Chain A
Amino acid sequence: MANNILEMRSITKRFPGVIALQDVTLTVQGGEIHAICGENGAGKSTLMQVLSGVHPHGSYEGEIVYAGQNARFHSINDSERVGIVIIHQELALSPYLSIAENIFLGNERKGPFGLIDWNRANAEAANLMERVGLDENPTTQINQLGVGKQQLVEIAKALSKEVKLLILDEPTAALNDNDSEHLLALMRQLREQGITCIMISHKLGEIMEIADTTTVIRDGRTIETIDMRQPDATQDRLIRDMVGRDLDNRYPPRRPAIGPEVLRIEDWTVGHPTQSGRLVVDHVSLSVRAGEVVGVAGLMGAGRTELAMSVFGKSYGRDITGQLYKHGQPVEINSVSEAIDSGIAYVSEDRKRYGLNLLTDIRSNICSAGLRRLMTAFGWINGNEELKVAEDYRSALGIKTPSVLANVGKLSGGNQQKVVLSKWLFTDPDVLILDEPTRGIDVGAKYEIYTLINEMVANGKAVIVISSELPEILGVCDRVYTLSFGRITGMLPVAEATQENLMELMTQEKDIRK
């Protein structure tokens, strides 16, 4: 017990009308990597906000013992002073300041007369950057770094505050495999230096790989704390704990009933919007048939999203050449509204940035793309009809909300994704392009999204799923295209595809064209 750096005892946190946390207990040993997992909305983030003082002492029940002392944090500053640093999923860096400036933001290295000593700041920043394995110049501006490197800057910033307990909220959610690997290696290294890490994550594989202990939270309660060194600490057990039921099959079964071709893309080439001469999508041809789920597998930067957005009303890129065919007929689509009119829907990979108007209610979001269908002959929108549409989708897709007039920003990730899907289903498309449809949503909600995809194709729609999660591609698709450096490097029926051969095709470099 003496080794416990943190004990949160019987934490209960109430919000008006909701109990976010109920009698939650979390015990973290010094120097370990402790994973917290649970479905979205389970209360993980609230728990961390209680710990870091975002919810000040007195606004919750229960007690926090940190490093053997009763801790009463009234703000983030209080918790940072004793070495608890939280790194949020949405990074909090200032894009136009340099790495060093960001690292010491609010904690500036001052010289005589209280002026900032830039030499010292840059030198210290370089030291910290070396510790996290970030090979950049301290004076480089943040917006020139990728997300992975920005994450490292956040960690360097935490180190500069002499962190003892580092909390990472979904640290690898936005990272590619390489950056994720690097981050996990860094966490191991920090553990060796005696820094305790709490990691909130959805990625069970990652938790299996790195965590010493895992605490599962469901519906605001602690389900269990598992010692990951025990042989019975399996992924299935975590899933069972998270969803409260067995998930023998993570992908709902489907009997494909494939019809005629709906969309064909031929010789599709897209130039980079600012760098002339650079091709982001390079002579791509693919097709999808009614009732079929086609996967597009590719690593980050392979041109997956760029391909989808350029097809969707030329929303990305320039000098686009190639031909689209709908039901075998050539079509010309130059704007998003034309794409919608010709029955194409695109569900973007980042629902908060590209999919939802977070300021408004679920109803308006669901109806925003198919608004024309709600208009009377004189162009008036029938508000009651709009509400009915929203209610219909709420029950059809199982959006969990007290009312469709609730703000969409208050929903969990999975429910937000259902709102985006509703929005596009309401435009009555023939083809749905789903870009990372299950990113950042929990296991249970993923299953529901897969079920919805099955329903769509059962209704005769054609679905293209873009994903970097190979199990997902293998689980939901009928056929898989692999994309690498903007080119299609292969097409396999799912029966012939394995994670290994897909990955090989996804990493294939130029000159090998199918």
Chain B
Amino acid sequence: MSLTSPSASATAPFSSYFFDNLRTNGILMAFAAVVVALACIKPVFLSPSNLTNLVLQYSYVLILAIGMLMVIVLAQIDLSVGSVIALTGAVAAVVAIRYGQPWWVAVICALVVGLIVGAWQGFWVAVVGIPGFIVSLGGMLIFRGLAQLLLNYISLSPFGGTYYNIANGFFNGWLGGNGFDVFTLLIFAIAVVGYAFSQWRVRAGQIRYQQQVSPLPLFIGKLVAVAAVAMAFAWQISCYRGLPFILILVAILIMAYTLVMQRTGFGRHIYAIGGNLSAARLSGVKVKQVTFWAFVNMGVLASVAGVVYSARMNAAQPAAGTSFELDAIAACFIGGASTTGGIGRVGGAVIGGLIMAVISNGMQLMGVSQGLQPVVKGLILLAAVAFDLFNKRRASTVV
């Protein structure tokens, strides 16, 4: 590639680039620090089985966090997602176990219920104008109750078969391997190359439009670091049971929603509404429609998480998903979303969710007592938001 150094003015000095991005990178560095610290204290943390387990165990929080981010950027909130997980899991179980339908019918039914739930809440928030907090507080009770009624207060199991494999299955042995799965490594290698290529294209586009870009060594260094971490992770999980299905699902969701939020009118409208409702309305943003669909989307994603969670548990439980909404909300805020709307990124919410996941996992490995774990999580939430506030204040001291 011949696009070497752009004009000097287009490349900011390293230090200013670093500090400008402290806010976005801060959370990433915090994540890296947590991982390194845990790896030092408990080397087993990085073991193939534990990393695989981490993916399986926390995927549904990430799925929820993605949908929650949209809702939070809109300056709304959805407290009902934990109950929706229980309800959609229960629907799937009733269809698959009680009525003996095939797994895909159960999944479709669960997703449809998620859609209806989302539309129900979207109606009250967008059309009637009741704050999302109230609507979803009601939803939290309603859907939890419906799940209990549907399951007769007892858990329904087992799903077995393909449904079970949604959250517990692996791609493994397709291309053979010697104690490691070649297929997993291949998929990761393709993903890394794809990532590098897309980043390069973005950068080339920015240079073509004479924008400020990060210095080339930094850019390449960043790509190498990402590639190294991704491949190391791939190697570890390939040594265990291979590539979990669920990881692919989560990865696709993250990519799709990053694109939706950054590159589509719908995503932009969400930021516009959260940033200034009146200005958005007077700019031709259809506030009601956007709000409605954001809630519908949240309902559907909650039902995806419901399917994943019930598959993982191999059962539908009346108490499934209790307080998951709080994990999802915390993930968004740890990831830099603003409590008053308008600010937040999918990537941030995902990293926020990962920080929570890694810390929970680490505490379990270290045998931290049950009661102490939520205390630590709560403190992390406070620390992350305090750090964010501190950064914002520092940034706003310019006239």
Contacts and interface: CB of A to CB of B under 8 A. Distances in A.
A36 interface: no
Most chain-B Cβ atoms within 10 A of its Cβ — which of A16, A46, A369? A369
Most chain-A Cβ atoms within 10 A of its Cβ — which of B205, B262, B284, B286? B284
A360 B73 CA distance: 12
Contacts of B275: 357-360
Contacts of B279: 353-357, 368
B284 A403 contact: no
Interface stretch (B187-195, B264-272, B296-304): B264-272
Nearest to A385: B209
Contacts of B281: 315, 336
Interface in B235-279: 259, 262-265, 268-269, 271-272, 274-276, 278-279
Query: For this complex, into which size category does the number of interface residues on chain B fall?
Result: 20 to 34
Contact of A381 (B206, B263, B342): B263
Given A357-B276, A359-B343, A388-B209, A315 B268 contact: no
B15 interface: no
A302 B363 CA distance: 66
A336 B283 contact: yes
A437 B224 CA distance: 51
A359 B338 contact: yes
29 contacts: A15-B397, A16-B397, A16-B398, A18-B398, A20-B399, A41-B399, A315-B281, A336-B281, A336-B282, A336-B283, A336-B285, A337-B284, A339-B284, A348-B282, A353-B276, A354-B279, A355-B282, A357-B276, A359-B274, A359-B275, A359-B338, A360-B275, A360-B342, A368-B272, A369-B283, A369-B284, A380-B264, A381-B263, A387-B211
B398 A340 contact: no
Contact of B272 (A313, A357, A381): A357
Nearest to B343: A359
B268 A353 contact: no
Nearest to B399: A20
A15 B399 contact: yes
B280 interface: yes
A364 interface: yes
Contacts of B265: 371-372, 375, 379, 381
A384 B208 contact: yes
Contacts, number: 97
Given A18-B399, A368-B272, A357 B342 contact: yes
Nearest to B281: A336
Interface in B315-348: 338, 342-343
A286 to B, nearest CB: 21
Most chain-B Cβ atoms within 10 A of its Cβ — which of A339, A358, A384, A388? A384
A254 interface: no
A380 B260 CA distance: 9
> A-side binding surface: helix, strand, loop or mixed?
mixed
Nearest to B273: A357
Nearest to A46: B399
Interface of A: 15-18, 20, 41, 46, 312-313, 315, 335-337, 339-340, 346, 348, 353-360, 364, 368-369, 371-372, 375, 379-381, 383-384, 387-388, 403, 410, 423
A388 to B, nearest CB: 6
B276 A356 contact: yes
Which 10 pairs from chain A and chain B are nearest by CB?
A: A357-B275, A337-B284, A369-B283, A359-B342, A359-B275, A336-B284, A384-B209, A357-B276, A340-B284, A384-B205
Contacts of B271: 357, 360, 364
A28 B340 CA distance: 42
B50 interface: no
Contacts of B282: 312, 315, 336, 346, 348, 354-355
Nearest to A409: B396
B168 interface: no
Contacts of B205: 383-384
Contacts of A15: 397-399
B128 to A, nearest CB: 18
A423 B272 CA distance: 13
B347 to A, nearest CB: 16
Nearest to A348: B282
A403 B209 CA distance: 13
